[in-house]
Structure 1
Amino acid sequence: MSHEAVKAVQAAVSADPENVPLRLALADLLVASGRPAEAVTEAAKVLARDPGNAQALALVTGGVGDGPTASAPTPEAAPAETVSPETASSEAAAPQEPAADTPPDFDWHHAEQQLDAAVPPPFVDPRQAETGHLRPGGPPQAEGVAPLEPGLPRISFADVGGLDDVKQRLNESFIQPMRHAEIAKAFGKSLRGGLLLYGAPGCGKTYMARAVAGELGAGFMSLVMTDVVDSYRGQTEKNIHSVFQEARHNDGPTVLFLDEIDALALKRSGLTGPASWLRGSVNQLLLEMDSMQGNNDGLYVLAATNHPWDLDEAVLRPGRLDRAVLVSPPDATARAAILRTHLAARPVAGIDLAALTQATEGFSGADLEHLTVTAAEKAMTESIAAGSVQPLTMHHLQLALAEVRPSTGEWMQSARNVVRFANDSGRYDDLRRYLSTREASGKSGQRKGWWS
C-alpha cells in the first residue's frame, strides 16, 4: 500500500474528523500497510462516536490480524495506487463485497458463530440491567449509550455532576449578586466576599472552584503555599500582597482560589517555636481579605481545605470566609457521570453503569478515576497477552473493585468527632446532616446518630 495514499487519507481525516466512513477507510489502509496498531487507534476513535459500528468493533477486537476486514479472505495485494480522499470516502461508504474467490454458498452466519465475534455494546441499557448485580454485559440487544463530550477548558456548573446543594449555595451567595450588580447594591449586598469549600480529599473542591469562575465568566487565579512562602523573613507577606494586588487589578470579576488554605491560615495559637514565623503570613492574609482600602469589589475569595477545624478562627469570621459549604463525596448521579466520562475514552463493552454506580457508594471522584485506571490496566494486560486490543468489560471492573477501596473513610471518622465535640456554633450542621443521612441509610456501618 502506497505511503502517499495513507498520507492523503490522513489529511482528509484531519480536515473532516467527524467523517466515520473516511476514518474507517484510513484504518483499512493502515492495516494493509502493516500498521495494525495505528488502525486500532483509528477504530477506537470511531467507537467513541459510533459505539455500535461493526467494522470498528471487528478491528478493535482482533480483526486486524490478516487484512482490512476479518470477515473474508483478502486477495493478493495489487500494485499500489494513489488513492484520493474523495475515492477513499466513497469506497468506505459503499457496502463491502465478499472476495471474488469466495464460494457463492459460503455460510457466513456459521463462520461468525465459529469465530464467536459478538461484542456487547459499550454500555448496558438501564432497562435491561438488574440493579445491584455486577455482571458482564450480554449480547448487543440495544444500541450503546453515546459517550459524553469532553469538557472545555472553561467549565460551568453544567459540567459538574450532582452537588446541587453546593451549586445552590454558591449561586445565592455571590454568582447572582455579581451578575445583577445593581439589584444587589439596592439590597446592600457588596460585590465581594469569601466562601470555604471543605470535604474529604478528591471530592471535587478544586473542580467546583473552576466551575464558579466559568459561571461568572471571570478570571481564575489559584494560590498555593509554594507560590508565596519564602525563606527570607517578610518576603512571604510581600508575596501574598502581590497576589491580591494582581487579582484586584484584573479587568472584570476575579475568583482567587486559595487551595489547601490550612497551609497558609493555621491557628496562630499553635504556631509556636520554629513555626512562629508563619504568624506573619496569617496576619497578612487576614489584612488582604479585609482590604482597608475597600478595593476588593469584584474579587471573590474561594478557599478549599480538607480540615476546616484547623483554620484560625479569624479567617472564618463574617466579612472573610464567612460561609462554609460541604463538598461531600459524589452522589449517584455524579458517580454515573464521572464513571461514564472516564470510561468513554477507552474501548469498553457491556458496562452496567447502574450496578457500578451502586457498588461505588462512598467513593470520591479521585477514587472513581483510580478505579477506571486500574480496570484499564487489567484490560491492557489481557490485550497484550492476546496480541490484540480487548475491550474493557465489567469483569475487569469487578477485579478492580476488589483492589480499590474508598479513601474517604478516615476523613469521615475525623468528621464524626468534630460534629460530636466541636459543633456548638452550628458551623458544621451541613456535615452533621450528611453523616446523619448516611447513618440512616445504613451506608457507613456505624450506629445511627450516635454523635448527635
Structure 2
Amino acid sequence: MPDDSPLIQSLRTAVAAAPADVPLRLHLAELLLNEGRSEAAVAEAAAALQHAPGDERARELMMRAMEVPGRAMEVPGRAMEVPGRAMEVPARQQPPRRPGFDWKAAEEQVGDVVPPRFVESPVRADGQDDPGEAEAEAWDVEAPGTVRLADVGGMREVKDRLEAAFLAPLRNPELRKLYGKSLRGGLLLYGPPGCGKTFIARAVAGELGASFLSVSVNDVLDMWIGNSERNMHEIFQTARRRAPCVVFLDELDALGAKRSRTAHSGMRNTVNQLLTELDGIGSAEANEGVFVLAATNVPWDVDNALRRPGRLDRTLLVLPPDGPAREAILRYHLRERPIENVDLGKLAKVTDGLSGADLAHVCEAAAERALLDSARSGTVRMIGMKDLLAAAKDVVPSAEPWFASARNVAMFANEGGMYDDLVAYLKKRRKL
C-alpha cells in the first residue's frame, strides 16, 4: 500500500479525533478512492455507514469502490490502468455500472470492519419465535408423572389428611359445590429433613394428573433489583399457562422468611410478590388449576402472612416413616442389589426413628461392607442381614437435632394450636 499523502494523513488524524463525523470520513474515502486505494475507501465508507446506515452518499461511494475490484480507478482526467495499455478517460466520465450490486460480496469484504447491527432472529408472523414463549419454557416444568400416593409406603395418617384437605374436594366437584368448599389456598408440608416431603408432593401431582414445577430459592433470587420479583411472577405465569399444575415451593423458609427479621428490602419485596401470586393477582380465578404445595423444615421461620386463610392455610406434619413405610423404603433401595436371607420386617423394627434418607444410607453402607469384603477375599458374596444390621447400628438418626429444636417450639410457641400434631407426636414418643 502506498504511503499516505500529507492531506490524507491530516484527514486520518481528524477522523480519529471525530470518528462519528460522517462527512469528514466520506471526504477521506473519496480521496482514497481517487488515488486508486479502493479497499481503504471501502473500509472508510463502511465505517461511515455504521454511524449513518441510511446515508446515500456513503452507499454511492461504497458501490463505486466495489465496482472496480482488481484494478485501480483514477480521478477523472487521469490515466486508468488497464491490462496491456494505458488509456485516457475524459474528465467527469464515469465507468459503466453493472445493473445490480452484489451485496453478498460487499458483506464478505467489509464483515471484519462493520460488526452486525442486529444479532437476534426476527420474530415469525405466527408467533412461534416470540421471546415470551421461550422465556416461559425456561422453567423446568415436568409432565404429569406416574407416581401416586399408593407408591408412598405406609404414612396412612399423612395420606388421609391429604385426601380430606386437598384431594377429595378436587375429585368431587359436585360435592365441593354442594358444601361450598373453596379450592383457594395451598398446603404446607413440614417436618424433619429426609422424610419424603418432595416425594409426597410429586405423588399429589400424579394423583391430580397435573404438571409439576419445583421452585427453590436459587430459581428466584437474583442480584439485580427487581429481578427476583419478576422471576417469582414468571414462575406462576408459567404454572397458569401449563394448568393443571402443582407448584412446589421447596425450602419455603428461604423463599418466604419472616419479613420482620429480614434486613434486605429485596428479600421483603420477594415475599410480597409471593403473597400477591398466591392471592391470584386480584382474583381467585387467576390461579384456577394451579395447586400450591410448600415444604419446610422450620415452619416457625415462615412469614405469618403466608399462612393466613386463602394462602398456605393447611398444614401437614411429615414425620419419619412408620413400620410399613420403612419396610417399603428398604425394599425399594435393595431391589437391584444382590441380597440373601434378608428379613425386612425385622430390619424395619430395628430402624425405628430413621428417616427415609437414613434408610437409603443403611442400604448403601451395607453394600459397601459386602463389596469391600468381596474385594479383600477375592470371592463375591451377597449382601446379608448381618451387613444391614451392622450398618443400621452405625447410623445416627438425622431427625434427632430437628426434634430437639421443635420441642421448644411445641412447648412455648404453639400459638392457636398450630403445632398440635407435633405436640401429640412428641408426647407419644415421650420426647415432651
TM-score, normalising length: structure 1: 0.62
Counterparts of residues 309-388 of structure 1 (less than 5 Å): 309-388=300-379
SS of the aligned residue for 1:425 comes to helix
Q: Report the alpha carbon displacement of residue 182 of structure 1 after superposing the two structures with TM.
A: 3.1
> 1:393 pairs with 384, 393, 399, which one?
384
1:423 aligns with 2:414: yes
Counterparts of residues 135-284 of structure 1 (less than 5 Å): 154-251=146-243, 253-272=244-263, 275-284=264-273
Q: Report the alpha carbon displacement of residue 267 of structure 1 after superposing the two structures with TM.
A: 0.5
SS of the aligned residue for 2:195 comes to coil
The number of residue pairs the alignment matches comes to 287
Q: Report the alpha carbon displacement of residue 165 of structure 1 after superposing the two structures with TM.
A: 1.3
Structure 1 unaligned blocks of 5 or more? 1-151, 440-445
Are the equivalent residues in 2 in contact too, given 1:191–1:299 (CA < 8 A)?
no
- The structure, 1 or 2, with the larger RCO (C-alpha pairs under 8 Å, 6+ apart) is 1
CA distance in 1, matches of 2:246, 2:304: 22
Are the equivalent residues in 1 in contact too, given 2:185–2:309 (CA < 8 A)?
no
State the partner residue of 1:149: none
Q: Report the alpha carbon displacement of residue 264 of structure 1 after superposing the two structures with TM.
A: 0.7
Deviations 1:379-403 (A, max 9, x none): 0111122334210011212321232
CA distance in 1, matches of 2:276, 2:158: 28
CA distance in 2, matches of 1:201, 1:303: 14
Deviations 1:324-363 (A, max 9, x none): 1100000011001111111121000111222211111110
State the partner residue of 2:283: 293
Deviations 1:187-232 (A, max 9, x none): 2223342010000000000000000001111111111111111110
Are the equivalent residues in 1 in contact too, given 2:374–2:381 (CA < 8 A)?
yes
Q: Which moved more, 1:237-246 or 1:191-200?
A: 191-200
Are the equivalent residues in 2 in contact too, given 1:329–1:363 (CA < 8 A)?
yes
Are the equivalent residues in 1 in contact too, given 2:145–2:205 (CA < 8 A)?
no
What amino acid sits opposite 2:185 in the alignment? Answer: G
Are the equivalent residues in 2 in contact too, given 1:289–1:320 (CA < 8 A)?
yes
Q: Which moved more, 1:423-432 or 1:166-175?
A: 166-175
What amino acid sits opposite 2:188 in the alignment? Answer: L
Q: Report the alpha carbon displacement of residue 184 of structure 1 after superposing the two structures with TM.
A: 1.2
Q: Percent of pairs identical after alignment? A: 53
SS of the aligned residue for 2:429 comes to helix
State the partner residue of 1:437: 428
What amino acid sits opposite 2:375 in the alignment? Answer: I
Deviations 1:231-253 (A, max 9, x none): 100110001000001111224x2
What amino acid sits opposite 2:398 in the alignment? Answer: S
**Structure 1 residues 153, 249: closer, same or farther in 2, change over 3 A?**
closer
Q: Report the alpha carbon displacement of residue 426 of structure 1 after superposing the two structures with TM.
A: 0.2
Are the equivalent residues in 2 in contact too, given 1:199–1:307 (CA < 8 A)?
yes
Give every structure 1 segment of 4 or more consecutive aligned residues whose post-TM-superposition deviation is greater than 6 Å: none
SS of the aligned residue for 2:287 comes to coil
CA distance in 2, matches of 1:285, 1:164: 32
CA RMSD of aligned residues (A): 1.4
Are the equivalent residues in 1 in contact too, given 2:215–2:249 (CA < 8 A)?
yes
SS of the aligned residue for 1:400 comes to helix
CA distance in 2, matches of 1:210, 1:181: 22
Q: Report the alpha carbon displacement of residue 177 of structure 1 after superposing the two structures with TM.
A: 1.6
SS of the aligned residue for 1:196 comes to strand
What amino acid sits opposite 1:276 in the alignment? Answer: S
SS of the aligned residue for 2:288 comes to coil
What amino acid sits opposite 2:428 in the alignment? Answer: T
CA distance in 1, matches of 2:220, 2:415: 34
CA distance in 2, matches of 1:362, 1:230: 39
Q: Report the alpha carbon displacement of residue 174 of structure 1 after superposing the two structures with TM.
A: 2.1
CA distance in 2, matches of 1:228, 1:363: 32
SS of the aligned residue for 1:378 comes to helix
Are the equivalent residues in 2 in contact too, given 1:348–1:393 (CA < 8 A)?
yes
Deviations 1:65-85 (A, max 9, x none): xxxxxxxxxxxxxxxxxxxxx
State the partner residue of 1:85: none
Structure 2 unaligned blocks of 5 or more? 1-143
Q: Report the alpha carbon displacement of residue 412 of structure 1 after superposing the two structures with TM.
A: 0.5
